[in-house]
Amino acid sequence: MTKTVLVLVETVDDYLPLLEAEGYRLIRAQTPVLRAEAIARHGAEIDAVLTRGPLGLYADEIAVLPALKIICVIGAGYEQVDLVAARARGIVVTNGAGANASTVADHAMALLFAVVRNIPHADASTRRGEWNRVISPSLAGKRLGVLGLGAVGLAIARRGAQGFDMQVSYHNRRPRTDVPYAYCDSPLALARASDFLLVATPGGAGTQQLIGRAELQALGAEGYLVNIARASVVSTQALVEALRTRTIAGAGLDVFDDEPQVPDELKGLANVVLTPHVAGQSPEAARDTVTLVLRNLQAFFAGQAVLTPVAG
C-alpha cells in the first residue's frame, strides 16, 4: 500500500524523487499557507511527515493527523517537533544526525576564515579600487574550542586539528572516551581555553543561551565566535554588545533568532560575517539527507528499527 509523506522542508527538492521512485506519495507543503491547507485537506491520509528543526511539527497538527506514524527530521536538530505529543501517540521520530556534518563543518571553517582574515571587507574594498592591506591573524596553531562534539562538532575538530595544527578542546553533555581532544567541564571553561569558539550543539531547551556575557568575556578581545548550530544557544543581546565593544574580536553567524529576519544591530557591525542558514546545504548533503530519510522510512514500514531515532 502506498504511503503518503507530507513534505514541509524546502531545501531538498532535487532529491525528493528518490522517495517517489520507491513508491511514496509526496504532498509538498513548503510554505505556512500550503502547510495549513495540506493538513486540513489531506490530514487523514498522511502516514509520515518530513520536516526540519525550526519548522517542526506541533501538537495541534499531530492531533489532526490520525494516520501519522513517523516524523522524519532532516538535520540533527528537532527543537520545534512536539516530542511529548508524538510519544503520546506512539509516533516514531527520527533525525538526520550526521548526514550533512561534512558540509556544515566546511561552512563553519569558511566563516571562521572569513571573519578572522577579514575576507568580505578585503574583497569589497578591492572592488572599490582601494588597496587596503590590513594585517589579520593566522589560524594555524591557535586554540579551537568546539561546543558540542557530535557529528558536526567532531568534523570541525578534525579539520582544525589535522588541517591547521590547532589545539582542540570541547564541551559536551558528557566527556567522550574516543577522541584525543581536551574536555572542558563547562562552556565558560571552554571559552577560557579558546581563541576560536565554534558552536555546534543542537537547539532546544537544554542548550538555551549556553553562551552569554560571561563566556564572551572569557573568550576575550582576540577571540572569535562562530555559530552554525542554533541562534538560541548564544545570547544575541550579549553577542551584539560584545561585538560592539570589542569584548571579542569578531563572529561568524549562520543562524538567527527570528529567521529570515536578521537584527539590524548585527547587520550594522563590521566585525561579523553573516550567512542565511546555509551551512548544511550542498548537493551532497541534500542527497545524503534524503537517502537517510528513505532508509528510515523503509526500515519503519518494514517493521524494523529506524536508523536514527530521537529519544523521547
Quickly count: other Cβ atoms within 10 Å of residue 262's Cβ: 14
The DSSP bridge pattern shows strands 92-94 and 70-74 to be parallel
Is the bond leading into 260 cis (omega within 30 degrees of zero)? yes
DSSP bridge partners of 15: none
Q: Is residue 171 among the annotated active site residues?
A: no
Percentages helix, strand, coil for the chain (3-state, rounded to 5) are 40, 20, 45
Q: Is 241 a catalytic residue?
A: no
Catalytic residue among 20, 130, 222, 259: 259
Catalytic residue of the set 121, 277, 287, 295? 277
φ, ψ at 95 (rounded to 5°):
-125, 180
Read off the amino acid at residue 266: L
Q: What is the dihedral of CA 234, 239, 242, 248, to 10 degrees?
A: 60
Between CA 60 and CA 230 the distance in angstroms is 24
89 is catalytic: no
Among candidate residues 230, 265, 284, 287, the one labeled active-site is: 230
List the catalytic residues. Answer: 230, 259, 277
